[in-house]
Chains A and B, each alone.
Chain A
């Protein structure tokens, strides 16, 4: 009976994994599953969205959506909500979607829950607080649609083999919604495997002692092959590495096969972003560092000595 919508972010005509994860979950929650995609190339994204369960994709290809922050998209989304009245809209916890969901709430007066990592029904969701040490069930009340922002990687994306009907979105966007203009776009992501999907993540913290020691992690990554390098907020705030390398509560969530934490204390805000990794290795010179509580293999020692040895070891046996 419930109609569940997923807001799908599109970038350069591509839809990212979070929307596909959410659609997979939405199939369990409602009998009507539909997606909304707003931005250039949105209708081209209908393929993967349909394959993951969206019966219809409301697609707006207008460049006005990419060229301005949130307001044009919120207007279009709200028009669709008024017309079709979904019971729930799932968003990924990302910058774009936080902006959208926050503004949409002001228009619908409905509840908005952030940082969910499970959705239990059309009016119930679950979140983890205090660095993932407590699980909290939340009842969502008030008018529909219930708005929920879900942390990426909370669900595995599985195709259902469907096909979506594309419904073009025609929204009139007034000039009053075009105040905040995006005038330039810059990518800072490193080449090679991306943090979000690399099978091995090597993360460095303040224990590396000097920004130039991040080179040691890159060299280790090169020796392993399919590895991406991440960091703690402490070193991002210190300006050692760019923000897009930050793992944790206010950064990205990763779930690689192997996570190697190097010179990282293991603060709860960092742990929420990596504790679901399949295996965790930690190197820290303090035997009482909290990171050892979640590590499958913990090494008490000087990372600056061990990492070059490990790189050497892998190169010579590789």
Chain B
């Protein structure tokens, strides 16, 4: 089976993000990479194709430096990549992102599209579902366990209060939670091979989209610091802390 794995490049995956004067994330001059949230989905894509044959195509939209995220996924074992990069996409919102990615995915052969549940920097958490609707396939969202079954897939889908078992035919899209797989590490050989693997770089025009198709539908009009909560009393435990906490709970009238 052929799988598309979505891979988002995020600036500064571990540090604190910064916002520029234009209210957009500062993406220049910061060390970026593959969103760690995407790694479980990439891993799932690799495991599924190792079981059943077929190829994994990495699809990403981002600045030119997003090539790092694509190469990282290739170094883990994905077969080829597509990177959509275009100045017109700076400031892309959920709608533009879904439009661009779904168009790029439609150019691939796929039985399954895998994505993370939400991105680490944006945490929009709806882009894959929008893509699924555009592709006309179900979105098997929040998968915490994935199995191939009878030519389709069977997942455990995380819910607020437990989980559901969902079965679906293919093609389908799936979003993968953090615990679903244990991502592998790239090997030196994998890193060397990744440099030789084909990556197609595309612009908005290459996708056949017009500037109107990629016009954002929302605009940040103001950013302020949130009111901060004041720190209260801090005590060092000298054996009496439990008594102090008990007193606090009584004052709060919860015991």
A interface residues with partner B (beta carbon < 8 Å): 69-71, 74, 93-95, 98-99, 101-107, 109-115, 124, 128, 130, 132-142, 149, 176, 179-189, 199-200, 223-226, 233, 236-237, 239, 242-244, 249-250, 252, 257-258, 260, 275, 278-281, 283, 287, 292-302, 305-306, 309-310, 312-314, 317-318
Contacts and interface: CB of A to CB of B under 8 A. Distances in A.
Contact of A298 (B172, B232, B255): B232
B57 interface: no
Interface string B177-190: 11100000000000
Contacts of A187: 161-162
A179 B133 contact: no
Majority SS of interface residues in chain B?
mixed
B16 A130 contact: yes
B178 A237 contact: yes
A124 B245 CA distance: 43
Contacts of B235: 297-300
B130 A106 contact: yes
Contacts of B243: 313
24 contacts: A69-B141, A69-B166, A95-B141, A95-B158, A95-B159, A102-B129, A102-B130, A102-B139, A112-B94, A133-B228, A134-B225, A140-B218, A179-B168, A180-B167, A182-B164, A185-B162, A189-B162, A224-B254, A275-B229, A293-B231, A296-B232, A297-B245, A298-B231, A298-B233
Contacts of B126: 98, 101-102, 105, 112, 114, 149
Contacts of A180: 138-140, 166-168, 172
Interface in B134-188: 134, 136-142, 144, 157-169, 172, 177-179
Contact of B167 (A134, A139, A183, A294): A183
B220 interface: yes
Contacts of B144: 243
A223 B242 CA distance: 13
B249 A135 contact: no
B21 to A, nearest CB: 14
Interface residues of B, number: 79
A112 B228 CA distance: 28
B217 A183 contact: no
Contacts of B209: none
The list of the 5 closest CB pairs from A to B, nearest first, reads A301-B237, A102-B129, A102-B126, A106-B133, A111-B217
Contacts of B242: 306, 309-310, 312-313
B95 A112 contact: yes
Contact of B130 (A103, A132, A258): A103
Contacts of B133: 74, 102-107
Contacts of B255: 223-225, 314, 318
B132 interface: yes
A262 to B, nearest CB: 11
Given A137-B220, A297-B244, A306-B241, A287 B162 contact: no
Contact of B254 (A102, A114, A124, A258): A258
Interface in B81-137: 93-95, 98, 117-118, 123-134, 136-137
Contacts of A181: 166-168
Given A244-B161, A301-B236, A99 B226 contact: no
A199 B234 contact: no
Contact of A98 (B141, B167, B216, B245): B141
B164 A185 contact: yes
A114 B123 contact: yes
Contacts of B165: 182-186
A82 B123 CA distance: 29
A294 B166 CA distance: 41
Which of B118, B123, B125, B245 has the most CB atoms of chain A within a 10 A radius of its CB?
A: B245
B140 A134 contact: no
Contacts of B233: 296-298
B224 interface: yes
B237 A300 contact: yes
B64 interface: no
Given A179-B168, A181-B168, A184-B164, 13 more contacts: A101-B126, A103-B139, A105-B95, A111-B94, A138-B220, A239-B179, A250-B118, A295-B234, A298-B234, A298-B235, A300-B234, A301-B237, A313-B242
A258 B249 CA distance: 8
Which of A142, A226, A299 has the most CB atoms of chain B within a 10 A radius of its CB?
A: A299
